[in-house]
Structure 1
Amino acid sequence: MDASLFTKMLSDKSVTDLKKLGYKYPQADIKEFVELLDTGFYKTLPLKDFNGGNLVYLESVAQVRLSAAKVLLTPQASTQLYGVKAMEEEIISTFTIEQIDTSRDSVRKILSGYAPSDESENRIYGMKKGLEFISDPANKISEETIYQLYQLTIGAFLPEEDRLLPGSKYRHDSVYIVGDKVEHTGLPWQKLPDYMANLVAFVNEESSMNDLLKAALIHFYIAYLHPWFDGNGRMARLMHLWYLVQQGYSSALFVPLSEYVEKSRKGYYDAYTLAEQNARISGVLDATPFLVYFIENVYHKLGSALPAPSTTDTFKKALEQGGVTEKEQALWHFVLSAYGDGTFSTKQLEKDFGNAAYATIRSFVLKFEKLGLLTPQKYGNRVKYQVTK
């Protein structure tokens, strides 16, 4: 193939959709293009497809901006295990993706420490326990801890027919993901122990792959294998977060990754479909469509999820100069955790914080507004505040 034609095809915006690329170029060119990718451009991964072939991805196409990693690496001064507001959105969004009914009031109730009162709240409680589990650095990723996470988060709340057999970490029968037609068949259950052991080895080995891409690939592979009868999507998203936490991305649990996925849900499912559709054309399972989806729709949209570095620096400076009391520091950490980039009123903060008089709350808000850390938002005669971006 002519080098200029190959370069043109590689830079084509349809490069992650071989069927669409086939509408623009002759099939002979598509065949030669894929062969060239296979000989020198695909990065081979130590994960297997259902036929035993290696997964691949195009490193030149799946590029994450450094700013995305910086957002997730931003240290959190909060003593919270996770951002409460972020995890409220995470739970609501992950359930919405899987079409599980829940309510924001119930999520807030469970995250506030109340006991569940029905089946829906049991599921929320499971997610809360799962988030607490993956936030603990002592819980390293292994087959045993993945099983513990699954049982804690999902398995304990399933009907009898969907539960794992005693002594089994994975499903014991076939599973089909069905839309208008059968869209995906999970890995034959007999192969799951070997494939999951291989995934855990990949998770824990040193590799040259970008951490954010590796987390997204783990996410993709869990959903591809479908190791359980139910809850595979939730587990894929939890595993994604868990890997980032294990790699030291301290803000991973302070941004609602699933909220970004839910907002682009069609693209999320289409990315899985594209990967399998391309494999039928090329004979290679290329994870690039999913990685590109995640880069464009999640990672590169995280910039506004956390306070601007200048806001964090301003707070640190005021703290170092003795301009912030212990109570004000606690209130600031609470605001970051409880409201994220949302708005709140002084009355709401007084009620939610629960350990300060209204005069203290009012003084804190006015002082932090003056410091430039809080920005007022006027709604008629009412004023709400938001962490300065």
Structure 2
Amino acid sequence: MRLPEPAPDLRQILERLDPERIQVVFQNTTPLPKGRYLHWDEMRYRDPPPGLSRDEWWATVTISRAALMQNLPLLDKQGLPFRFATPSPVLIDLHHIDRDAAGQIRSTAGEPLREDPNRYLMSSLIEEAITSSQLEGASTTRQIAAAMLRTGRKPADHSERMIFNNYRAMEHLRTLKHEALTPEHILELHRILTTDTLENPEEAGRLRQSDDVHVVDQRDDAIVHVPPDHQELPERLERLCAFANADETSLPFVHPVLRAILLHFMIGYDHPFVDGNGRTARALFYWSMARSGYWLMEYTSISHILRRAPSRYMRAYLHTETDGNDTTYFLLHQLTTIRRAIVALHEYLGRKTQEQKETERMLAASPALRTRFNHRQVALLTHALRNTGEGYRVDAHQRSHNVVYQTARSDLLTLHELGLLEKAKQGNAYVFFAPPDLKDRLAAMAK
């Protein structure tokens, strides 16, 4: 990866300007050149306003941003504070996230979901577990990984173990959302994420013991970031936890969504572990969002969005490091990611709602079947119509809908008795399969 060109030094630019020129240059200033929060590496390829050089243009932008900047209680490797600003694009994104992510989970029509939302949460946890692991090298397919998690099958290889661990970690964090974060919690989270995936098993749940860990671009092996000294990590982790646990009375005030993103940022910057830092960072983001009341985020997958453009994810870090610790670049990247994840959730809900309606219309066509199926069975039949030959186990159905084993077993046996599922034994458990002609069988029953 080509590293971003560092921003020009403001002091050197000003030293080259005489008083009259300074007056001309600073007649108009804006923190948003071309309407965006651009880094110098992007601005240097664009045409400046008439009468200004690119360096002078950058100076006007830097001066106008300085008035918006606030120092954070988070430090870089030199002990200098990271900073952030809240220009209008940040405020607009926060407005949308406040509106869309802190209420009930809703359909695209705006109505609260009437079905048990646990099956949507299950799908989301699976998606985040898979894509977060794929961002760090896991190489199994989504279908195989999802089947492993739904059925409870043991991981068969390193990639599946990464995904299985990520899923367990996301479930574990749900139990901690009302607790203050401690270094011990972060170490335990890392242990869950990396068990049986590291060359040295003793590194799971332990801060790195050396400085030979670097962030490398996997495409060309270029070193893009050198983390802080490993001896500083215990103190830095304590500082990070204090920041994560702060409330609205702390100064400076940091919006809860920005606080969650900055927690994510600092784990990536500090790189406190030999491996699994990205998964740890994204998992802690979810913990922070849940702790602040953004319940809808439990149903989204930010890693699904990040995986589409991993280089932009990395560049958001690099823009911060090459412009005076300005984390606004990373904040804007992640705010956009969150909003896209919410849109993806609503698109998913729209598809599922439509599929549900189509199945319900087919089932409702027959008075004899109208009340035969509960919403869990309708969901399974809907999925089976789109996935011919799919296998369903009682324990997987139980986890998907958060019901007791006996209820899940009754759901599947009833469908089997009606001829809508076929049954076969695999090992010590029965697996139920959707027959290839399921739609025809339903249609025949509906007459």
Superposition TM-score, scaled by structure 2 size = 0.65
The answer for the alignment partner of 2:5 in structure 1 is none
* Partner SS, residue 90 of structure 2: coil
- Name 2:374's counterpart in structure 1: 328
Partner of 2:28: 5
Q: How many residues align?
A: 340
Q: 1:27 matched to which residue of 2?
A: 55
**Partner Cα separation in structure 2 for residue 257 and residue 290 of structure 1:** 14
Cα separation, 1, equivalents of 2:299 and 2:418: 23
State the 1:267 CA deviation: 1.4
Distance in 2 between residues matched to 1:28 and 1:124, nearest whole Å: 49
- Measured after TM superposition, the shift of residue 73 of structure 1 is 2.1
CA shift, 1:48, in A, is 0.8
Structure-2 change in CA distance of 1:327 and 1:49 (3 Å): farther
Q: Does residue 196 of structure 1 match 2:259?
A: no
Task: Report the counterpart of residue 185 of structure 1 in structure 2.
Answer: 226
Computing the radius of gyration from Cα coordinates, the structure with the larger value is 2
For residue 133 of structure 1, give the secondary structure of its aligned residue in structure 2: helix
Aligned residue in 1 for 2:148: 109
Quickly say closer, same or farther: Cα 1:216–1:303, change in 2 above 3 A: same
- CA 1:31–1:4 in structure 2 vs 1: closer, same or farther (change >3 Å)? closer
Cα distance in 2 for partners of 1:300, 1:79 equals: 20
Q: Contact between 2:102 and 2:294, CA under 8 Å: does it hold in 1?
A: yes
1:48 maps onto 2:86 in alignment: no
Per the alignment, residue 331 of structure 2 pairs with 291
In the other structure, the counterpart of 2:405 is: none
AA paired with 1:199? L
Distance between the aligned counterparts of 1:195 and 1:41, measured in 2? 26
Alpha-carbon spacing, 1:228–1:326, altered in 2? closer, same or farther (3 Å): farther
Shift of 1:152: 1.2
Change (3 A) 1:295 1:362: farther
TM-superposition CA deviations, 1:138-190 (whole Å, max 9, x none): 554211111111101114531117715xxx84111111112332210011111
Equivalence for 1:74: 103
- Relative to structure 1, the CA distance from residue 124 to residue 240 in structure 2 (aligned partners, 3 Å threshold; closer, same or farther) is same
Paired letter, 1:37: R
Paired AA for residue 174 in structure 2: S
Give the whole-Å Cα distance in 2 for the aligned partners of 1:184 and 1:73: 35
Contact 1:215–1:240 (CA<8 Å) still a contact in 2?
yes
Name the structure 2 match of 1:90.
128
Counterpart Cα distance in 2 of 1:220 and 1:176: 16
Going from structure 1 to structure 2, the CA distance change for 1:256 and 1:360 (only over 3 Å counts) comes to farther
Query: What are structure 1's unaligned runs of at least 5 residues?
Result: 279-283, 316-323, 364-380, 384-389
Task: Verify: 1:220 aligned to 2:243, yes or no.
Answer: no
Is the 1:44–1:54 Cα contact (8 Å) retained in structure 2? yes
Q: Which amino acid aligns with 1:103?
A: T
The residue correspondences of 1:111-126 to structure 2 (distance < 5 A) are 111-126=150-165
- Higher relative contact order structure (alpha carbons within 8 Å, sequence separation ≥ 6): 1
Supply the distance in 2 between the matched residues of 1:18 and 1:210 (Cα, whole angstroms): 26
* 1:371 match: none
Aligned-pair distance for 1:269?
1.5
- Aligned match of 1:387: none
Q: Is the 8 A contact 2:133 2:162 kept in 1?
A: no
C-alpha contact 1:107 1:121 (8 A) present in aligned 2:
no
> What is the CA-CA distance between 1:15 and the residue it aligns to?
3.5
* Identity, % of aligned positions: 20
Instruction: Indicate the residue corresponding to 2:181 in structure 1.
Output: 141
Q: Is the 8 A contact 2:169 2:189 kept in 1?
A: yes
Report the secondary structure of 1:182's partner residue: strand
The amino acid of 2:208's aligned partner reads: R
Cα shift at 1:343: 8.9
Instruction: Flag structure 2 segments of 5+ consecutive residues without an equivalent.
Output: 1-22, 106-114, 358-369, 398-408, 421-437, 441-447
Using the alignment, how far apart are the partners of 1:343 and 1:240 within structure 2?
36
User: Is 111-120 or 22-31 further displaced after alignment?
Assistant: 22-31
**1: CA distance between counterparts of 2:339 and 2:419?**
36
Change (3 A) 1:22 1:304: closer
CA distance in 2, matches of 1:141, 1:326: 47
Contact 1:47-1:55 within 8 A present in 2 as well? yes
SS at match of 1:68: helix
Describe the shift of the 1:256–1:294 C-alpha distance in structure 2 as closer, same or farther (beyond 3 A). same
Select the residue among 76, 84, 89 that pairs with 1:57.
84
Q: 2:65 aligns with which of 33, 37, 53?
A: 37
Paired residues of 2:102 and 2:293 also in contact (CA < 8 A): yes
The CA deviation string for residues 321-345 of structure 1, in whole angstroms up to 9 with x for no partner, is xxx989635457x67xx97xx9946
- Give the AA of the match of 1:130: A
Deviations 1:4-25 (A, max 9, x none): 5212x53434643123334534
Cα drift, residue 301 of structure 1: 4.8
What whole-Å deviation, never above 9, does each CA across 1:175-212 have from its counterpart, x for those lacking one?
11123322100111111111111111011001432222
Amino acid at match of 2:264: H
Quote the Cα distance in structure 2 between the aligned partners of 1:124 and 1:140: 26
Q: For the structure 1 residues 362 and 346, does the alpha-carbon distance in structure 2 shift closer, same or farther, using more than 3 Å as the test?
A: farther
2:174, 2:388 → 1: CA distance? 30
Report if the CA contact (8 A) 1:93-1:262 is conserved.
yes
SS at match of 2:104: coil
Q: Secondary structure at the match of 2:28?
A: helix
TM-score normalised over the length of structure 1: 0.74
| Counterparts of 1:65 and 1:212, CA distance in 2 | 7
String of CA shifts for 1:243-277, please: whole Å, max 9, x gaps.
Answer: 11122222222111110111222211221122222
- C-alpha displacement at 1:304, in angstroms? 4.1
Secondary structure at the aligned position of 1:51 is classed as coil
SS, match of residue 305 in structure 1: helix
Matched position secondary structure for 2:169 = helix
- CA-to-aligned-CA distance 1:43-66 (integer Å, 9 cap, x gap): 221111111111112201423153
